[in-house]
Structure 1
Amino acid sequence: MNQKMKFREDGTFTIIQFTDVHWMDGLEKDNRSKAVMETVLNSEDADLVVFTGDLIYPTEDSATDPAVLMRQAVGPVASRGIPWAYIFGNHDTEHRITRTELIEAVMGEAHSMTQRGPEEIAGEANYIIEISGQSGDAEAALYFLDSGSYSCLPGVKGYDWIRRNQIDWYVEQSNKLADRSGRRLPSLAFFHIPLPEYDEVWSKGQCFGLKLENVCCPKVNTGLFAAMVEQGDVIGTFCGHDHLNDYWGEWHGIRLCYGRATGLNTYGREDFPHGARMIRLQEGTPGFQSWIRLESGEKIEQQEAAGTAE
């Protein structure tokens, strides 16, 4: 059963994307990450917060249960009563907790919209949130996909990829929503590891924002992007993973967007402040608005045309 939310009376639906929080021990750097989230939450009136992976960063010798780390990390959102959704990154379950254990803990937290998803497909937390209009009918959809962690195929190095049965599931769900609604619902997709097309749009298309590191996408392209183009419903995708990239570019009618790295317990640059990406849908209006909110409270409404800062 899909989770359901609703557009506001003014027709808007606003999402905060926090990514790569990397909550590790609840100490000094985590408190600074909390301050980043608090600033963004104070500056924006969100209907939903999405954590796009690497929410926690448990170590082998950590004294704190990873489930407790998760509760600490989502605390700034849950304490305000804001609904939130989560997808896995590659670091969340590296030590001392399994994906099954963590998803169960996430689902049990206050205001969590996260679902475990079908057991017969790869990963955990492959699910959908429908957004209803004033009539009560679904007007938009949010897809959440587990992009895995690391390649498990001999001879294929690097990061994992979204599997074929996940793509088949997406296509099936997209068709069901279209059959029920009589049209393709404008949709957004969230995952942690960028698709190979993120590299392609940077090298061949027009992008806005910064690329300060390589696109760490999988070496295998399983065709999720092609499926989304063919289905004609997804208008934007959102990932994290690469902490020094925040650009977006439109490729074959879909806006491929990076979030803005939120957490301080991992690598970064002093000249690349932490923050979040904002996303706003408007009922009955094509496309979406998006902007960056920084830890200082500054709003970057229009990102500059593609350029790489040295």
Structure 2
Amino acid sequence: MRKTLRFREDGTFTVVQFTDTEFCEPDDEELQMKDMMRRIIEAEQPDLVVYTGDVIASNKSPNPAAAFRDAVSVPEQMGIPWAAVFGNHDSEAPDMTREQLHALQLSHRYCYAIPDPPHVKGTGNYCLEIRDSHRDNVEAALYFLDSGSYSPLEHLRVGFYDWIRRSQIEWYTQQSYRLTAGNGGVPLPSLAFFHIPLPEYNDIWDFSVCYGNKLDRHCCAPWINTGFFASMVEMGDILGTFVGHDHGNDFWVTLHGIRLCYGRTTRNAYLDQPFMPGARVIRLTQGERSFDTWLHLQDGSVIRDQPVHAPTGRPVQAGMPAAAE
């Protein structure tokens, strides 16, 4: 069956982003989370659901494969297209690799992810095209990248978390060149989804006007900057990036024309203050180089105007960040 994403007749395409669901084994909290996810999907009527990593807490689960199937059961049962990228907690169990997880997601009827390209670092790197409502013209693109797990150089104290590698950036630029050429030399409006925030997320809170909350002291980004953000700026196609990982952050900011966004944690934020779980909603409009985004929370409230944070110019003191939950 050919799986094709399309803009609706009204020219819109809506994504619901769930992040850090960390399914482990069925209990009351997971049942409540699934109920919340179902209600958000029913209210927002998305064209695609995206899980931005830590779909499961594999090292805490007696059956990681069953936990993953449970995590994606809501859109699967509702017949809603969905796709996922992986986070640091997804493949911590010795009996669950990222390759196995990717094969597992591809086995689902309503999963729109595709097999990995050859010779690219990581698992779950793919690009989905969005076509217009009637013809096969490609009008937008969605990039999904594996941001890895933990630093391979942690023994040298080079950070705690992994980073997007050179082969992934080369793969992205090749896809972007291809899509731009097919669009008459004009970059396609595109979005990117991955789990661990880029190093740029660490600076923007202190030096830019941001919108939303930063309740985690550090953005748990890698210490190595491999230039993925610079590549996105150069290619001119990606309008926004969407990450998870830091459960207490949901802010966004525009940097050099790209909106760097956090999702809203869909599970517990692990904070000593209230922070209601939910989802981020993203809406593209065909023919426009922009998107709308808002939060939809567990109690049904919708937050379209997030609080404004003025830059302080005082970065948090550098050091090994606390591990994200």
Q: TM-score, normalised by structure 1?
A: 0.95
Q: Does 1:44 align with 2:44?
A: yes
- Shifted more, 13-22 versus 42-51: the winner is 42-51
1:59 CA drift (Å): 2.4
**How many pairs does the alignment contain?**
304
Cα deviation 1:165-219 (Å, max 9, x = unaligned): 1001100110000111111101000000000111122111111000001100001
| Aligned residue in 1 for 2:307 | 304
The CA distance in 1 between the partners of 2:26 and 2:183, in whole Å, is 45
Q: Does 1:26 align with 2:26?
A: yes
The CA distance in 2 between the partners of 1:191 and 1:289, in whole Å, is 19
1:267 CA drift (Å): 2.1
1:307 CA drift (Å): 6.8
| Aligned residue in 2 for 1:99 | 98
5 Å-filtered alignment, 1:260-299, equals: 260-264=264-268, 267-299=270-302
The CA distance in 2 between the partners of 1:176 and 1:91, in whole Å, is 33
| Aligned residue in 2 for 1:13 | 13
1:270 CA drift (Å): 4.8
Q: Which runs of 5+ in 2 are unaligned?
A: 312-325
Q: Which runs of 5+ in 1 are unaligned?
A: none
1:67 CA drift (Å): 1.1
| Aligned residue in 2 for 1:191 | 194
| Aligned residue in 2 for 1:161 | 163
Cα deviation 1:2-61 (Å, max 9, x = unaligned): 96411001000000000000001111221122122122112211000000000001226x
The CA distance in 2 between the partners of 1:157 and 1:289, in whole Å, is 34
The CA distance in 1 between the partners of 2:200 and 2:194, in whole Å, is 14
5 Å-filtered alignment, 1:22-171, equals: 22-59=22-59, 62-63=61-62, 65-95=63-93, 96-134=95-133, 135-153=135-153, 154-155=155-156, 156-171=158-173
The CA distance in 2 between the partners of 1:93 and 1:35, in whole Å, is 25
CA-atom RMSD, angstroms?
1.6
| Aligned residue in 1 for 2:315 | none
| Aligned residue in 2 for 1:236 | 240
Q: Does 1:207 align with 2:179?
A: no
Match of residue 220, structure 2, among 216, 228, 245: 216
Distance of aligned partners of 1:78 and 1:262 in 2 relative to their CA distance in 1, 3 Å threshold: same
Structure 2 counterpart of 1:206, one-letter code: V
The CA distance in 1 between the partners of 2:81 and 2:223, in whole Å, is 34
The CA distance in 2 between the partners of 1:30 and 1:272, in whole Å, is 17
The CA distance in 2 between the partners of 1:128 and 1:203, in whole Å, is 32
1:269 CA drift (Å): 5.0
What SS does the aligned partner of 2:309 have? coil
Cα deviation 1:109-162 (Å, max 9, x = unaligned): 120011231131110110011001143200100000000000012411300000
Q: Does 1:253 align with 2:257?
A: yes
What SS does the aligned partner of 1:59 have? helix
Greater relative contact order: 1 or 2 (C-alpha under 8 angstroms, separation 6 or more)?
1
* 2:189–2:288 Cα contact (<8 Å) kept: no
* 1:245–1:258 Cα contact (<8 Å) kept: yes
Structure 2 counterpart of 1:221, one-letter code: N
* 1:207–1:247 Cα contact (<8 Å) kept: yes
The CA distance in 1 between the partners of 2:12 and 2:5, in whole Å, is 12
Q: TM-score, normalised by structure 2?
A: 0.90
What SS does the aligned partner of 1:51 have? strand
The CA distance in 1 between the partners of 2:238 and 2:288, in whole Å, is 14
Structure 2 counterpart of 1:278, one-letter code: V
Structure 2 counterpart of 1:119, one-letter code: P
| % identical equivalent positions | 47
* 1:3–1:130 Cα contact (<8 Å) kept: no
Structure 1 counterpart of 2:87, one-letter code: G
* 1:209–1:307 Cα contact (<8 Å) kept: no
* 2:208–2:310 Cα contact (<8 Å) kept: no
* 1:3–1:128 Cα contact (<8 Å) kept: no
The CA distance in 2 between the partners of 1:229 and 1:19, in whole Å, is 25
